[in-house]
Chains A and B, each alone.
Chain A
Amino acid sequence: MRVERRCVIDADRGAVWKIVGDPDCYPTFMSSLERWETANEQPAGVGARYTVHWKIGSVPVGGLVEVVEFDDLRDLAWVGITGISLRGRIRLRDAGDGRTKVTFRLSYQAPGGIWGYIADRVAVRQVGRTTADTLRRLKVLVESQG
């Protein structure tokens, strides 16, 4: 299942990247986040690992994730190592007039065959709300700092 939400933030990419490029800041704007802990000694960048859980449905869902793409001012992507299969990406692009278009994508797949598929379908609305709310909070955070 893939969920994607976008927004335009009234700030340049540098200002947005200052927050997006520092995963330690994620608890301040990510919605439904129950747990975001550094899991290895690696500084923010490719290879850095975090234990991440979002409250989806009745329990925290997530696991250990590793940053696999860290393209300054442009893209940050991670994949899940334990827990459900998960890929996440935050993508920054110029939107003109000093503004930045931010895209937040989450792709996930629960195990368990048909039950996993049903669970994915049931969760998709909540995941959609979580990603949209995350972007809303990121926008408020960045614009309040500008």
Chain B
Amino acid sequence: MALGGYRPVMPDLAGVLEWARSQVASRVPKADLDQRDPDYIRDQLPRTWLLASLYFRADVAHLDRIPAEGPVLLVGNHSGGNVPPDTFVFTLAFCSYFGVERPFYQLAHNLVVSAPPLGWLRKFGTVAANHENARTALQSGAALLVYPGGDYEVFRPSWERNKVDFGGRMGYVRLAREAGVPIVPVASVGGQETALFLNRGQWLAKLLFADKLLRLKSIPISLALPWGLNISDLAGHIPLPAKIAIEVQDPIDVDGDDQAVHDKVTASLQAGVDRLAARRRFPVLG
């Protein structure tokens, strides 16, 4: 039987990429702020307190710098790969200080909020990181925690552990400006000592099209428990018991152009990180 013309049996690469992207996107839950459950959080606080106090020997300072009420954008530097202790330690501290009754949400990567084993995070107030979800949370009057550096910053090499690096992302400034809320920088150290992060693996993400399919800019390479050599960290790892120190900085009003505000925020964060790092005598031990 003769073929009338060329008819591809397999869809072309662009089609595959588009199909995979739509599959992932369709599995990202829509932000439903009602999924946050204060009673669930309250019940989990003792467990997280034990982990934070005994394992990570965490220390959280200056929560009083966060406005006592109303919406606020909390902007942090992010560390610890796919098991970032700074997020849960700060969430514990915020909920203990202001009470579980104060609405508080955290933005997380699409893969985190769509992973079935991590569904409980939504009860903590974790929603997918996009502009619409963030705006909805702030408009509802909640406090919102964002890590603009995201997967770029969280997988920086361990020898850059005390460097604040958002990779040029400053969409959070526009978000704060549109919502009319102050930005409160939240500096932390210790998270990048929970494993030995070697390389962001951005070249690997491009090679495997993960940047297009999964919005993954990095497929990091690290040495971590229990895997040894850990490529991608998608399955997580057991973090080393590094001492986590967090210091909340003074609020910053969004009253200049985006770059100026961004510079203020990163300068404030870097100063906080430098202060906390100067108090550390040893990696991991603190």
Contact residues of A with B, CB < 8 Å? 34-35, 53, 57-64, 82-83, 110-113, 115-116, 118-120, 122
Contact = CB atoms under 8 A, between A and B. Distances in A.
B43 A112 contact: yes
Nearest to A81: B99
Contact of B46 (A53, A82, A112): A112
Contacts of A118: 46, 50
A119 to B, nearest CB: 4
B138 to A, nearest CB: 23
B93 interface: yes
Contacts, number: 74
Contacts of A62: 96
B46 A111 contact: yes
A35 B97 contact: yes
B177 to A, nearest CB: 30
A57 B53 contact: yes
Q: Lowest 4 A-B CB distances belong to which pairs?
A: A57-B53, A119-B46, A58-B58, A112-B46
A115 B43 CA distance: 9
A143 to B, nearest CB: 31
B97 A122 contact: no
Given A58-B93, A60-B96, A110 B45 contact: yes
A115 B50 contact: yes
Interface stretch (B59-67, B195-203, B205-213): B59-67
A63 B99 contact: yes
A64 B45 CA distance: 17
Given A60-B93, A83-B99, 17 more contacts: A34-B64, A35-B64, A35-B97, A57-B52, A58-B52, A58-B56, A59-B49, A61-B96, A110-B45, A111-B42, A115-B46, A116-B43, A116-B46, A119-B50, A120-B46, A122-B50, A122-B54
A58 B43 contact: no
B173 interface: no
A61 to B, nearest CB: 6
B283 to A, nearest CB: 19
Given A53-B97, A58-B49, A83-B99, A111 B56 contact: no
Interface centre among A53, A61, A112, A120 (most CB of B within 10 A): A112
A83 B98 CA distance: 9
Contacts of B92: 58-59
Interface string B81-101: 000000001001100110101
B47 A112 contact: yes
A122 B49 CA distance: 10
A62 B93 CA distance: 11
